[in-house]
Structures are given as structure tokens and as C-alpha cells.
Structure 1
Amino acid sequence: MKIRLGVIGDEACIKIVEEISNEYPKFSIRYFTFNTREDTVSIIQAQEDETDMWLLLEPCAYLYVKEWGGSRKPLFHIPYRGASLFKTLCEIFYNANLAIQDISFDTVPYNDIKRGLAEMNIQCGDTIFVNDFCVQTPVNEVFQYHYDLWKNSKTKAAVTCIDKVKDMLKEAGVPVYRVLPVRLSIRSMFYNMLREFDLQIVKDAQITVQVFEFCILTDDEKVYSTDEIYNEEIKLTQKLIAYAKKVRGSLKSVGQGKFFVFTTRGLLKYITDNFSAIPQIEEFEASEHKLIACGIGIGLSAYEAEFNATTALRNAKRYEKGTWMIVFDDKTITGPLGKKEQLTYSHFSDELQSISYKTSISVATLSKIVGIMEKKKSDTISAQDLAQYMHILPRSARRIIARLEECGIAIEAGEENPNPRGRPRKLYCMKLGQA
């Protein structure tokens, strides 16, 4: 079976990859060019089901896709540092005879350039012109950075990793050099992708257990005989057998509305859209029996997977009915699946254990707060937002924040007013990652 690889880049980068790709017959490669960073997302959305992994050849496109976070397939990129940067600098020093202070850079981090120059025994002092590129930086702004330095005679040339910036600078008359991936880096990346694919096959074969808990007695007002209860269990079991066949698993009933399905990680990953959604299951939709919750456990053994599934079920039951949660083999927890509040967090952290001891807040709760802040991509939050994400009352969220505030972990950082007619909400800066 060939690995379906999607490669996104500009024509210059793609040409270099094409020269190397013949050495790797395990890959079936499709190439895509783009004009803007936004194009990369459109390409991935259109081709996601036809691809096993993605290789993005331009750093800004890779960062944009990573921040978008919508791809379910492994993403790879070739860093434009090390050998790629050295090759460009050697070309400049040999052909143009310029000093490092005569050049402006973008995309490559300042410290990487400093380290690279130190390895080449080049004294650069503190004057290196580097654009602090981030994924939100418009291409025009990167161009303007280089152009202004050159126009004001502070530099004599520009080094860029962005093809469009190179074209704009060239048109403006600025001497420009493009950092391109070197063949050694490309070969190394192909090797890494092969390893990742092999590891993924092993991972997808991991034992996975689902534990479902149903409400067998659908009418609280009715008095059921033992025969009627048994009959309801049989009807539900038949539907779960049909579901187990779909995920190529086996079913085990343990009574009291609990059923275990043993399958593999790869199949569960597929039906849950890479552990991000509750699947549409025909057997459940047609059932009059209400699903209380579902826990998914992944482990290195059947025992570990079953234990993790039970833990996931216990966590899922803290939310509304029908919630799905997952506990992975590294003890991270994800859920509720398919909800806006879906988080990934871990119970295991020495730092959080220390904070838990000081605040009397459980590690599980602290882990959830860390997951919420990462999901929000912010270090500030209001008590109302915390309550919404954690499915608790606002007064409970305020109580948690108050305890963190006493220990200097939550710091009041201003106010927000989402409703002009309402009272402003206090914002708190969380220092959980720095405690």
C-alpha cells in the first residue's frame, strides 16, 4: 500500500522535492501550488480524504495551517534553518561579498540565525535585522520591512523564506535571496514521514475499549417485570451487536445497562473524525433506550484499555446525557466529543500537583483550566467563561478563581463588557504554566 502524500508549496520548492521523490517509491505524491496562506486551507479541505499526510514547503503556510488546526492528517514541514540558511549565506558571502550587518532576514528566528553564524565563526555583534514574523503577519508587511531598511541604506540585500515576498522585493529593485530547502533536509523529512507512517500503523492497532451505559427502563412511571427488563436488554444488545460489527469489534454485556465493545484505535479514530465528534450511529438513533454516556479507553493491554474506558465513562457522566469522553494510553483526557467546550488535558503533572496542594483544588480541575486556556489561545478568562467550559455554576467558578488568586496564580487583568447593558466582567490572567 502506497502512502498518499500531499505536497503544498511554490513551484521552486516543488521542483526540488520532485527531484528527490523518485528515491522513495512508497509514496504516491500529489503536488499543489498556492498563492496565499488561505489557499492552503482550501486545498487541505478539498483533498483531506484523498491524503494520508501533508508536507508544507513554505514556513508561513505551515504555521497558518497549524493554527487553523482543521486537518486530521499528520502535518510536516522542512525548517528553513541550518543547512538551508547556511547555503543561502554562503551564496551571499561568495557572490555579493556582503557583511551580515548588510542583510535583513524574515521567518527564521533571531536566535537560530545567531547560533548558525556562531557555528560558522562569523562575528555579528548585536546588529542583525530580523523580522519578527508570526502567522498573522501580512506578506505586505514583511515586504515593507525589508524594503524600508534597503531604501534607508541600512541594508544592501534581503533574505526571505516567502516566495511572494521575494517576487515583490525583486520587482522593487531590492537584491533578494530566497532560502530554499536543501536536498539533505528533504531526504531527512521523507525518512521521518516513513517512520511516522509505520508508527501510525502500530498506533492504529492499539486495543481500544468503549463502554456504553444506557437507561434500560425508559418509562419511570411503569413497573417492569424481570422478563420485561430482560427483553429490553435483548433488544438493546441486538443493536449493539450490529454496531460492534461496524467497528469490527466484539461486544460484552455486564448488566445494568453497561456494554463493552472491544475494537482498535484506528477504527474509533475514523468513526469519531480523529476523536473530535460523536459519530452518527444508526442503531443508536433508532433506539428508544437513552444513552447515558460513553467512555473510550486506549491502552497497551486489554486491561489498561478497559480501565481507561471506565475512567472516561465516569468523567463523561459529569456532563449532560449522551456525552462521549476518551482516556488515552498516556492518561490524557479528551472530551466532551463534538462540543464547543471539548478539551484535552492530563491528570499527571508535578507542577499541578504542587498547585493543588497549595490551593486544595484537584489536579483534574487545574488540568481542565490549562486545557481551556490552550483552547482559547489566551491567558485571560472570566468566571462566566470558565463556568461555561467546565459545566459548573458561575459561583463555583468564582470560588476556584478566588483560591487561585490567593496563591498569586490568578491575577486580575482588567474587564470585558460582552453586553453593553450588563455589568462588566472581571478578567483574570492565569499563571498555571508559570507557577
Structure 2
Amino acid sequence: MESVVMKYPEFSYISISYWRDEEIVEKLTTYMNEVDMWLFSGQIPYGFAKKWAGITQPMFYVPSSGSSLYKTLLQISYNQKIPFDQISFDMFHPAELERAFKESNIAVKPKYLKHYEGEVPTDEIVRYHYELWKTGKTLAAVTCLKNAQHELNKLGVPAFRVLPTQSAIVSTLALILQTNETMHFKDTQIAVQMIEFDSFSSLTKDTFSTDEIYKIEIKMTEKLLEYTKKINGSLKSAGPGRFVIFTTHGLLREMTKDFTIVPDFAILQLTSSDAVTCGIGIGQTVYDAEINAGTALLHAKEFHKGSSMVVFDDKTIVGPLGQPEQITYGYAPEHLQSLSEQTSLSIATLSKLESILRKMGKTEINAHDLAQQMSIMPRSARRILTELESKGLAQVVGEESPHPRGRPRKVFQIIL
């Protein structure tokens, strides 16, 4: 891989090796702020990185393509004379391996294959091949993992590694360059940040006057000007207590750590009593971005004052920023429009519900959990579930008793 990357002057690279699975996250953490993209030599380190979810940069891995496997099979056949039905394999999809055998005119079908997707411990792969070899079922192992080959050879197992081909590496590098161009284009998109604060929240009965409100407005304007300078933007007032900042997608993405945290209002020394609510809009034009920012602000206010939401140019909504539980949902997905017409629920509510269930990986939920995920009152969550149940879109499938003396909570299965 290194010899191929060296031929491309567009790239500067850092070569990182590891021997134990436990080292992967540690190595990634060390170099995380020094790279723009990650290229993994195979599916396993890529899977561990994806599971960790600590990387915000795009990630790629070089696939073990058919030609890589053909080269390894030819080597085994020509040099080792080992029957193909006495070889164990890992990683490949069963259909992919069978197709490779068929295209190579190998009469037998592969008997021993450990297929996996994502991360899998190296020890598990080594154990799979070793047990087959030790019991006499196989004479050799074919693996896609360098560390597995190393450990198997130490145990005496003839192990062959499927190496990535030069063409597969070149294809992956081309994809990285294309992704970089796309990201650069996105970073230059217009971003609008619409900020609203409650001028009355910090007033008391003794200080309530129009002069005090005016002082608060001036103070807030000064703070926002300081913040706007940090993101190379421009600020304009949009009425009492509302401001609009124009900047770029890239600068705002960097400020919010890829739209996961609240914009850095800490530099403004704002407190929770300032009740700052924020909507961020991304668009191809200033007009589109401003419309999206207004939509994001409305969604942020739906959650509660002080929230921040984002609406991207594809109408995807993300937020609330800075919360441990964020949801991503569509602005107006077509498949929910008919369900909205059947019920008294808006498309946005149904879309949020669908996103929450997708994130949880199940179709069952109770009112308490729904209220927490949506940042709404439990009675509002119960109303949503009851409405769905009355229209045949949800049914009670059980009860939960979180506390011995508390009321049982109905568990609803949602059918969207």
C-alpha cells in the first residue's frame, strides 16, 4: 500500500502498524488530529474504528478483490499442491468465494469459511483456522489478516495471506480524492446561523424596563460580534432578540466538531439564563441556507429554549447539538405523508419517531423513553403513542415496571 501511495504527489501520509486489536483505538487517537482521511489495509481495523465511532474524518479500506484471491489460490495450487477442499478461508462472503472457485474452474466447493463483517477479534480467526488444522480437517489456511497469518505460522499452520492488489489500492485512492473534492465543495457552501434569545429571561421585577432590555441587546450584539469574528462571518440583526450570522459550511462544521456540539458560545460567556436558541442552515445559495436556518430554529424551539438544530441542504435535520442523544430525521419524507394524513401527527413528529426507532435498533418503545428521546413531556409522548394505537399503527405488546412501587409502563410496538 505504501509503495502505491508514494506514487501520488497529491497525498502525504503517515504509515501506522499494529499487532494487537487493543492497539487500534490507541493508534487512531494518537494521530486523529493530524489526518484528513483514513485508509485501512483491511476490513477488521476499519470495523474496529467504525465501532469506536471516535473518528469524524472519512474512512476507507482496501477490499480483498477476486484477483487477490486468484493469485493466492494459484500460489497454493502450484507450489504447495494442497487440495482446495482442505483449505479454510476467512472474511469472504460465501457467494463470492464460490464464484471465485467456479471462475477458476475448481471443481470442488469451499467447505470451510468464516465469514464476518465489521470487527472481529484476531484470536477468534486464529482459533477457527487452528482448530480445523489440528483436527486434520484442513492442511492450510487462507486469511485476509496479517496478524492472523503471523499467529497461525507460529502455531505451525501453513497460512497464506490474501494481499490487496495494486489495482484495488489505486481504485480506493481515486475514491479518496473524489471524496476530498466533494468535501471541499461542501465546505464552501453557505451556512446561516439564526440565533434567538429571550431578552426578558435575565430581568427581575426591580430591573424590568425598556432601557434594561436595550442594554441587554447591546451586550448580546457585542458578544455575537466577537463570536462572528471567530468564524469569519458577518452579523446582522433580524429584529428584537434575533440575529443572523452568515459564514461557510466548513468553518461552522469545524466549530461544532462536525455538528455534534453546540456552537462555541463559551467565548461569549453566555449562561443558561440567556436562553439562547440556535438554528443552523446549510444551502447552495444564501436564500436556501437562510430558509433552512429558520426551519432549524423552529425545530430547536420545539425541543426547548436553549437548543440548537441543523437543517442540511438535503433537508436532513440533526440535533439537538451537544446532547448525548442526537437524532437525524428527514424534513418531509414522502413515505410518511400518508401516515400523517391518517393521524393528527405531523410529518416531522413521525419522522423523529422513525429516526429514534432506527437508532435504537428496535420497534418497541414506551412513553417515558419516547419523551426523553424527543425532549417532550411524558403526557405528550403518551398522546403520540395513543394516537398511533387508535389508527392501527401501534399496539401494546407488554409492560415494564422500572420501580417496584411505580405504575407499569406500557410498551408499544410501532408499525410505520
8 Å contact kept, 1:107–1:133? yes
**Partner in structure 1 of residue 149 of structure 2:** 166
Matches within 5 A, 1:134-153: 134-135=117-118, 137-153=120-136
Aligned to 1:268: 252
1:243 to 1:353, Cα distance in 2 relative to 1, 3 A = same
Compute the displacement of 1:220 (Å): 5.2
Instruction: Give the whole-Å Cα distance in 1 for the aligned partners of 2:108 and 2:395.
Output: 41
Preserved CA contact (<8 Å) 1:81 1:108: no
Q: Does 1:175 align with 2:175?
A: no
Asked if the contact 1:78–1:181 (Cα under 8 Å) also holds between the matched residues in 2, the reply is: yes
- SS of alignment partner, residue 26 of structure 1: coil
The answer to whether the 8 A contact 1:56-1:76 is kept is yes
Aligned to 1:66: 50
Residues 119-147 of structure 1, C-alpha deviations (whole Å, 9 max, x = no match): 4455555x542214244643222222222
Aligned to 2:322, the other structure's residue is in SS state coil
Aligned to 1:203: 186
Code of the residue aligned with 2:148 in structure 1: it is: V
Post-superposition CA distance 1:366-412 (Å, at most 9, x none): 32233223433455444322221111233443443455556776566
- The two structures have a TM-score, normalised by structure 1, of 0.85
Q: Give the conservation status (yes or no) of the 8 Å contact 2:194–2:280.
A: yes
Find the counterpart in structure 2 of residue 129 from structure 1.
Answer: 112
3-state SS of paired residue (1:34): coil
Q: 1:406 to 1:46 in 2, by over 3 A?
A: farther
The SS at the match of 1:31 is coil
Aligned letter for 2:177?
A: L
Give SS of 2:275's match.
Answer: strand
Shift of 1:293: 0.5
Shift, 1:179, TM fit: 1.5
Structure 1 equivalent of residue 37 of structure 2: 53
Structure 1 residue 245 corresponds to structure 2 residue 229 = yes
Deviations 1:48-94 (A, max 9, x none): 11111111113111011112211111111111233323332333333
Partner of 1:346: 330
Which of 41, 54, 60 pairs up with 1:76?
Answer: 60
Shift of 1:222: 5.3
Amino acid at match of 1:101: D
Match of 1:299 among 274, 283, 286: 283
1:331 equivalent among 286, 296, 315: 315
Number of aligned residue pairs: 415
Other-structure match for 1:157: 140
Which AA in structure 2 matches 1:291?
Answer: A
C-alpha contact (below 8 Å) 2:90/2:113 kept by paired residues: yes
Which stretch has the larger CA shift, 111-120 or 276-285? Answer: 111-120
Match of 2:175 in 1: 192
Larger deviation: 30-39 or 52-61? 30-39
Q: Is the 8 A contact 2:329 2:351 kept in 1?
A: yes
What is the CA–CA distance in structure 2 between the aligned matches of 1:422 and 1:170, rounded to whole Å? 59
Correspondence for 2:262 among 278, 285, 288: 278
Q: What is the deviation of 1:350?
A: 3.3
1:34 equivalent in structure 2: 18
Determine the C-alpha separation between the residues in 2 that align with 1:244 and 1:109: 52
Q: Give the Cα–Cα distance (whole angstroms) in 2 for the partners of residues 274 and 333 of structure 1.
A: 14
Residue aligned with 1:344, SS: strand
Gap change, CA 1:394 and 1:201, over 3 Å in 2: same
Distance 1:120 1:309, change over 3 A: farther
Range moving further from structure 2, 294-303 or 320-329: 320-329
CA gap 1:288/1:353 in 2 versus in 1, 3 angstroms: closer
Matched, 1:373 2:334: no
User: Contact 2:65 / 2:165 at 8 angstroms: preserved in 1?
Assistant: no
> In 2 relative to 1, CA 107–400 (structure 1 residues): closer, same or farther, beyond 3 Å?
farther
The runs of 5 or more residues in structure 2 that have no matched partner are none
Deviation digits for residues 139-193 of structure 1 (CA, Å, limit 9, x no counterpart): 2222222223333333332221122222232223222211111111111122221
Whole-Å separation in 1 of the counterparts to 2:322 and 2:31 = 22
Contact 2:308 2:321 in 1 (8 A): yes
Aligned letter for 2:194? V
CA distance in 2, matches of 1:407, 1:109: 42
Contact 2:272 2:306 in 1 (8 A): no
Report if aligned partners of 1:214, 1:289 keep a CA contact under 8 Å in 2.
no
What one-letter code is carried by the residue in structure 2 that aligns with 1:43?
K
Q: TM-score with structure 2 length normalisation? A: 0.89
1:170–1:176 Cα contact (<8 Å) kept: yes
Letter in 2 for 1:267: L
Deviations for 1:30-60, whole angstroms, at most 9, x for unmatched residues?
1111123332222222221111111111311
Residue 347 (structure 1) shift: 2.7
- Aligned CA RMSD, in angstroms, stands at 2.9
Task: Could you tell me which runs of 5 or more consecutive residues in structure 1 were left unpaired when the two chains were aligned.
Answer: 1-16
Q: Identity rate of aligned residues, in percent?
A: 44
Tell me the SS of whatever aligns to 1:318: helix
Shift of the alpha carbon at 1:29?
A: 0.9
Question: Which shows bigger deviation, 96-105 or 300-309?
Answer: 96-105
Higher mean alpha-carbon deviation, 170-179 vs 350-359, is at 350-359
Report the Cα offset of residue 416 of structure 1: 6.0
Q: Which amino acid aligns with 2:307?
A: T
CA shift for structure 1 position 255? 1.0
- Per-residue deviation, 1:360: 4.9
Q: Describe the SS at the equivalent of 1:333.
A: strand
